[in-house]
Amino acid sequence: MTSRNAIGAHVSVAGGLATGGLRYAADVGAEMAQVFVTNPRTWALNDGDPAEDAKLAASGLPVFAHAPFLVNFGSPTPATLDNSVAVIRHTLRRGAQIGALGVVVHTGSAVSQPRDDAMRQIHEHLLPLLEEIPEGGPDLLLEPMAGQGQMLCATVQDLGPYLEALEHHPKVGVCLDTCHAYAAGHDLAAPGGVAATLDALHATAPGRLKLIHANDSKDVCGSKKDRHENIGAGHIGAEPFAEIMRHPVTAGVPLCIETPGKADKDRENIALLKKLRESATSG
């Protein structure tokens, strides 16, 4: 695997998963892409278009799929838990069909039940899905949240109990969202903050970082607010993203923006991250 960080975006798939997605990626200069393979705000399952799936899989572009936002394996509501199982099973299958390297899932919330009960559900309901992933299929990437409410995973240290609940399964990886980490209290903008965060991640989940959601933050460190900002326009600032790409833990790990705005802003954010990558590799 190359040590270079591919830089890309969550892409629009209007016009077809591959036809629209690859067109958008090329338009904004993306070297990787993240997509939804089903509606992110409902439980509806979309079987997709086999021709589009094959085209995306054969494109050579590194692709990740993002699971719907409703998924919550820590929920005390039986219907939510059952739907989460069905949606993640479906998204992992669809991820394999499009050649995705990983499927990103939010780590969820205990909502109104004890944390231990929620973690038990992770073990009982999410672990079996990992066993179903076919050889060569995507990893399941855990994305810690900003720490609002009864979130099960916000700081990188919170990944420890989560990985334990999943028996440190080899198909479990991590997606680190910089805005979420900053909101949860990891001060990426402070001197040494990036190194401290990534060192802690390596200590907790060695070798499991597979994707970085590169987002600046509209809010201050520790705010527990999940509000993304364009790179360099928020409280994190631009330079920490160069530091992220300079750190050995991130070698070869793609950066994917999920920043405000449409294609013009995506193009600007990707161009800025590419400049920061140059400074990271030459510095």
Whose structure tokens read 């919330």? Answer: 109
Closest CA to 244 of 261, 256, 233: 256
b/e code 113-132 from CB counts within 10 Å (16+ = b): beeeebbebbeebbeebbee
- Six-digit token string for 227: 């509000």
State yes or no: 202 annotated in a binding site.
no
State yes or no: 169 annotated in a binding site.
no
State yes or no: 216 annotated in a binding site.
no
Give phi and psi for 15, each to the nearest 5. Answer: 100, 0
Sign of CA dihedral 146, 199, 63, 105: negative
State yes or no: 177 annotated in a binding site.
yes
State yes or no: 143 annotated in a binding site.
yes
CA–centroid distance for 20 within its chain: 21
What's the CA gap between 251 and 245, in Å, rounded?
A: 7
Q: How many angstroms separate the Cα of 45 from the Cα of each of 4, 38, 49, 137, 154?
A: 35, 6, 13, 19, 28
What's the CA gap between 175 and 125, in Å, rounded?
A: 20
Whose structure tokens read 């038990």? Answer: 120
Other CB atoms within 10 Å distance of the CB of residue 54:
14
3-state SS, residue 274: helix
State yes or no: 168 annotated in a binding site.
no
Task: Please count the residues of the chain.
Answer: 283
State yes or no: 226 annotated in a binding site.
yes
State yes or no: 125 annotated in a binding site.
no
State yes or no: 135 annotated in a binding site.
no
Gyration radius of the chain over CA positions: 18
Binding residues for Zn(2+): 66, 106, 143, 177, 180, 213, 226, 228, 258
**Annotation: binding site:** 66, 106, 143, 177, 180, 213, 226, 228, 258
